[in-house]
Amino acid sequence: MTRLRRALNGIAEEAPMVDLADLALAGHRRRRRVTALLAAATVATMVAGATTATVTSIRSHGVAAAWRTEAAAAPLRSHDAAATPQTEAAVPDLPGGRVGPLAYAYRTPCDVDRERKTIDCAAVEWRVVTRAGTTYRLPQALALNDQERRVPVAISRDGRMLAYYSRQAQAHVVRDLVDGSQVTSPVTVKEERIGIGSMLVVSDDGRHVVFDPREGSKEPGLLIDMRTGKTVRIPGEYEPVSIKDGIAELVRYVKTDLWLMPVTGGGRPVRFAGAYITFSELAPDGRTVAAAEMKDLQKQKLSLLDTAGGRAPRKVAVRGLPEKAGVIATGPWRSGSELTLFALHGKGTHVYSVDIGTGRARRLADYPPGKPGGFLVLPGVASG
**159 vs 221 by CB, closer to another protein:** 159
Residues 177-206 that bind another protein (CB under 8 A): 178-179, 204-205
Residue 159 neighbours by CB under 8 Å, 6+ apart: 101, 102, 103, 131, 177, 379
User: Which part of the chain contacts another protein (CB under 8 A), choosing from 166-174, 183-191, 216-224, 238-246?
Assistant: 238-246
Residues 241-300 that bind another protein (CB under 8 A): 244-247, 282, 284-287
Among 331, 344, 376, 382, binds another protein (CB under 8 A): 331
The rounded distance, in Å, linking the Cα atoms of 210 and 200 is: 6
Length of the chain: 384
**69 vs 188 by CB, closer to another protein:** 69
209 lies in the binding site for another protein (CB under 8 A): no
351 lies in the binding site for another protein (CB under 8 A): yes
The rounded distance, in Å, linking the Cα atoms of 384 and 251 is: 14
Residues 67-106 that bind another protein (CB under 8 A): 67, 71-74, 76-79, 101, 103
Cβ of residue 308: shortest distance to another protein, in angstroms? 9
User: Which part of the chain contacts another protein (CB under 8 A), choosing from 111-119, 181-189, 315-323, 332-340?
Assistant: 332-340
Do 147 and 181 meet the contact criterion of CB atoms below 8 Å apart?
Answer: no
**92 vs 336 by CB, closer to another protein:** 336
**199 vs 282 by CB, closer to another protein:** 282
Among 15, 53, 82, 90, binds another protein (CB under 8 A): 15
- The 129-168 site mask, x for binding another protein (CB under 8 A), equals --x-----------------------x-xxxx--------
User: Which part of the chain contacts another protein (CB under 8 A), choosing from 144-152, 211-219, 227-235, 328-336?
Assistant: 328-336
Cβ of residue 140: shortest distance to another protein, in angstroms? 22
Do 201 and 154 meet the contact criterion of CB atoms below 8 Å apart?
Answer: yes
11 lies in the binding site for another protein (CB under 8 A): yes
3 lies in the binding site for another protein (CB under 8 A): yes
Cβ of residue 330: shortest distance to another protein, in angstroms? 12
Do 135 and 83 meet the contact criterion of CB atoms below 8 Å apart?
Answer: no
**129 vs 194 by CB, closer to another protein:** 129
What is the 3-class SS of the chain, one letter each residue?
CCHHHHHHHHHHHCCCCCCCHHHHHHHHHHHHHHHHHHHHHHHHHHHCCCCHHHHHHHHHHHHHHHHHHHHHCCCCCCCCCCCCCCCHHHCCECCCCCCCCEEEEEECCCEEECCCCEEECCCCCEEEEECCCCEEECCCCCCECCCCCECCCEECCCCCEEEEEECCCCEEEEEECCCCCEEEEEEECCHHHCCCCCEEEECCCCCEEEEECCCCCCCCEEEEECCCCCEEEECCCCEEEEEECCEEEEEECCCCEEEEEECCCCCCEEECCCCEECCCCCCCCCCEEEEEEHHHCCCCEEEEEECCCCCCCEEEECECCCCCCEEEEEEEECCCCEEEEEEEECCEEEEEEEECCCCEEEEEEECCCCCCCCEEECCCCCEC
Among 199, 340, 354, 383, binds another protein (CB under 8 A): 340
Residues 163-182 that bind another protein (CB under 8 A): 178-179
319 lies in the binding site for another protein (CB under 8 A): no
63 lies in the binding site for another protein (CB under 8 A): no
Cβ of residue 104: shortest distance to another protein, in angstroms? 8
Give the end-to-end CA distance of the chain in Å, rounded to a whole number: 48
**19 vs 88 by CB, closer to another protein:** 19
Among 137, 315, 334, 360, binds another protein (CB under 8 A): 334
218 lies in the binding site for another protein (CB under 8 A): no
Cβ of residue 190: shortest distance to another protein, in angstroms? 32
The rounded distance, in Å, linking the Cα atoms of 262 and 248 is: 6
Cβ of residue 130: shortest distance to another protein, in angstroms? 12
User: Which part of the chain contacts another protein (CB under 8 A), choosing from 118-126, 222-230, 310-318, 373-381?
Assistant: 373-381
